[in-house]
Structure 1
Amino acid sequence: MARAGGTAKTIFTCGECGASAAKWQGQCPGCGLWNTLVETVAEAPAVGSQRRFAALAGAAGLQTLSDIEAREEDRLPTGIGEFDRALGGGLVRGGVVLLGGDPGIGKSTLLLQALAILSSTHEVLYVSGEESGQQIALRARRLSLVTGGLKLLAEINLERILATLQSVQPRVAVIDSIQTLWSDQLSPAPGSVAQVRECAAQLTRLAKASGITVILVGHVTKEGALAGPRVLEHIVDTVLYFEGDTHSSYRLIRAVKNRYGAVNEIGVFAMTDRGLKGVSNPSAIFLSQHGADVPGSCVLVSQEGTRPLLVEIQALVDQAHGNPRRLTVGLDAQRLAMLLAVVHRHAGIVCFDQDVFVNAVGGVKVVEPAADLAVVLAIVSSLKNRALPGKLVVFGEVGLAGEIRPAPRGQERLREAAKLGFTRALIPEANQPRQPIAGIEAIAVR
């Protein structure tokens, strides 16, 4: 389909959600963001498409689901335990993994370490679109990696990368990064919506057909979301986010989507001069070492995927000068406002003239509602300037009616707290264990 004069028809596509519009407008009709529409070339409809579809339908191999043999996919451990935990046990043949994170947080370092370990037993390929081969060789030398069997391709043209993958047939291939690739079948520049979507789709198609495990590195926006359309996350099998403060030596990998394992699973790493090293006891990172009990501090037993994790929640409540502020680090600010309203309505504790600051120690992001009770107790402790008892852990969701709701896997949380030396736990009544857990007293509340 073309306009008079032979020029191709164009449409305007949103760079965030992938929605399209016939003409440019300031606000995306799909996601509502401003100045995200980019002009792209519309695809021409295929000639004789009805006849073609009829022929394809006749050739399609329909199956009955009960006739298909279901079997577990074999996992390939990367040799890095915390990375395997986030992946759900290892890499799956034909799986496509998307790893996103801030610049400089350690994405390329971690994947280079994993490929160096795998290269001793499997065929692996590292495709670099951002760094030259010399730069990657210098990083490998700095990390003291053995890379004798690791193949490297510095290329950004999709067709050449696909040809190399089909020729080499590696067990694992890393594409660093998906935003740098471009296909000569499309006119937009690398990093555009059309290029990112098409390149990801072509690589995914090859992975499923050949059994190659493909790991894509993705850039993130300043808001922390993966750059490009959200369809990129829907195409792949697993989406991992690198989290953590670049000023701290600790890093977290969180699985936000995983077709082969649990979501919200995390792996914890420490950045050293020899690369990223897994942390065997991550709870020690997220607990501050106070010489004595201090007001505004409460220890939460969080559940990240299949792993119980102890995190210190800190709160500071101070007299407001002007409009009171509500600030959270690692927690949901909207949920904080809701909890303050619940405390005011059902406990008579007034904070509308106070600044309230809440922080999850160690740079971890706590997203589960079971953190509510710990946040409330930390706020009240700071407001009253009274420290909570030592060796106390807390978990439980707070409802709008003031009730304390249960949290999943309560007994696993209590066992983890007891293992780390905590002696008392304030928990929802529904999480009261039937049999006492050695070393810890459970105090049930409603």
Structure 2
Amino acid sequence: KERDITLLLVGHVTKDGSIAGPRLLEHIVDVVLQFEGERHSRLRLIRAIKNRFGASDEVGCFELSDTGITSVLDPTGLFTSRHAEPVPGTCVTVTLEGRRPLLAEIQALVSQGRDNDFGNARRVVSGLDSARTSMTLAVLELRAAIKIGGRDVYAATVGGMKMAEPAADLALALAVASAAKGLALPADLVAIGEVGLAGEIRKISGVDRRLQEAFRLGFKRALVPAGSDVKIAGMEIVEVSRLDQALQRVKISGE
């Protein structure tokens, strides 16, 4: 610092996610960046853990290719798929990586359950939080009358996206209900909101930022929690307070 020389230190993190070595080093430096990525995904993220010169929740998106690591200006295409016609069991949501909104597609498949050694239906999850998925499925059946108790349910994100935030609950519930009923959701629909145990749709942060990104990419309709109070010219934004109300809006009924 006395000679005004920029110094880059490269280290590794431990299994619990902390930086290896003495904690003093982390306090001395001005910026701590963490390089993240899944083995089976080509997406790489650089996340600011500490930043004395700006926000600490900024995220940079990069793609791993044969020629090296390149910047991805619009990474949404990595987490959504293209369908000629709407397909049952798919729903798009908008997640936040730091301050950056990313569109992500959740896909679900509901099949007739088969007897196994334990006599239980299968619940297979990829890219989603398994505990929140189990909770959402229970709420979907008990509060919205979508019968999936004895059926196998598979849920996954497109492109290896990891989503743990509650804002994806509503999209997951709609995708599973769509798959269970064999009814496709509108192709230009996004859904964001947390699902509570009583079947209510709770408010989430950054609704305006999420919907602006969805509208920029061509989505014209959105289901959001009641009280979000967001208006975007050219976009139909429907506020819902309960899960069964959200299902009615997309013409999916229980039983």
> TM-score range with shorter-chain normalisation?
0.7 to 0.9
Which residue among 277, 296, 302 is the counterpart of 2:95?
Answer: 302
Match of 1:355 among 152, 161, 174: 152
Cα–Cα, structure 1 residues 234 and 444, in superposed 2: closer, same or farther, change >3 Å?
same
Cα offset, 1:437, TM superposition = 1.1
**2:233 matched to 1:441?**
no
Which residue type is aligned with residue 151 of structure 2?
Answer: Q
Q: Which has the higher helix share?
A: 1
Instruction: Provide the residue aligned with 2:11 in structure 1.
Output: 217
Cα distance in 1, alignment partners of residues 147 and 26 from structure 2: 44
Match of 2:182 among 370, 374, 385: 385
5+ long unaligned stretches in structure 1: 1-93, 95-165, 175-214
Q: Whose radius of gyration is greater, 1 or 2?
A: 1
Q: 1:376-415 CA deviation, whole Å, 9 max, x = no partner?
A: 1011111111110111011011111111111212112111
| Equivalent of residue 5 in structure 2, options 162, 168, 171 | 171
For 2:111 and 2:56, how far apart are their aligned partners in 1?
37
Q: How does 1:260-279 map to 2 (within 5 A)?
A: 260=52, 261-279=54-72
Q: Distance in 2 between matches of 1:276 and 1:232?
A: 31
- CA 1:241–1:444: 2 relative to 1, 3 Å: same
SS of the residue 2:111 aligns to: strand
- Is 2:200 the counterpart of 1:366? no
**For 1:140-179, what aligned pairs fall within 5 Å after superposition?**
171-174=5-8
Q: 1:253 aligns with which of 46, 62, 80?
A: 46
Distance 2:180 2:235 in 1: 28
Match of 2:126 in 1: 329
CA contact (8 A) 2:36 2:47 kept: yes
Deviation at 1:333, TM superposition (A): 0.5
Matches within 5 A, 1:19-418: 171-174=5-8, 215-218=9-12, 221=15, 225=17, 238=32, 240-244=34-38, 246-255=39-48, 257-260=49-52, 261-321=54-114, 322=116, 323-418=120-215
Question: Given residue 129 of structure 2, which amino acid in structure 1 is its aligned partner?
Answer: D
1:234/1:296 CA distance change after superposition, 3 Å: farther
Q: Structure 2-normalised TM-score? A: 0.80
CA RMSD of aligned residues (A): 2.7
Residue type matched to 2:233 in 1?
A: A
Equivalent residue letter for 2:5: R
Q: Which residue number in structure 2 is paired with residue 109 of structure 1?
A: none
Q: Does the C-alpha gap of structure 1 residues 392 and 350 become closer, same or farther in structure 2, counting only changes over 3 Å? A: same
Taking structure 1 as reference, are residues 310 and 331 closer, same or farther at Cα in structure 2, changes over 3 Å only?
same
Distance 1:288 1:316 in 2: 16
SS of 2:177's equivalent in the other structure is: helix
Match of 2:246 in 1: none
TM-superposed deviation, 1:359: 1.2
With 302-311 and 229-238 compared, the bigger mean Cα shift is at 229-238
How far the C-alpha of 1:337 sits from its partner, in A, is 1.1
Q: Structure 1 residues 231 and 427, CA, compared in 2 at 3 Å: closer, same or farther?
A: same
Matches of 2:108 and 2:191 in 1, distance apart? Answer: 15
Q: Aligned to 1:331, what secondary structure does the other structure show? A: coil
Which SS does the other structure have where 1:430 is aligned?
coil
Are residues 351 and 242 of structure 1, via their aligned partners in 2, closer, same or farther at CA, if it must alter by over 3 Å?
same
Distance 1:439 1:345, change over 3 A: same
Change (3 A) 1:243 1:348: same
Percent identity reads 43
TM-score normalized by the length of structure 1? 0.48
Q: Is the 8 A contact 1:298 1:375 kept in 2?
A: yes
Is the contact made by 1:418 and 1:438 (CA closer than 8 Å) also made in structure 2? no
Runs of 4 or more above 4 Å deviation? 224-237, 261-264
Structure 1's 314 and 264: CA in aligned 2 closer, same or farther, altered over 3 A?
farther
Larger RCO (CA under 8 A, 6+ residues apart)? 2
Distance in 2 separating the partners of 1:430 and 1:233: 45
Aligned partner letter, 2:43 = Y
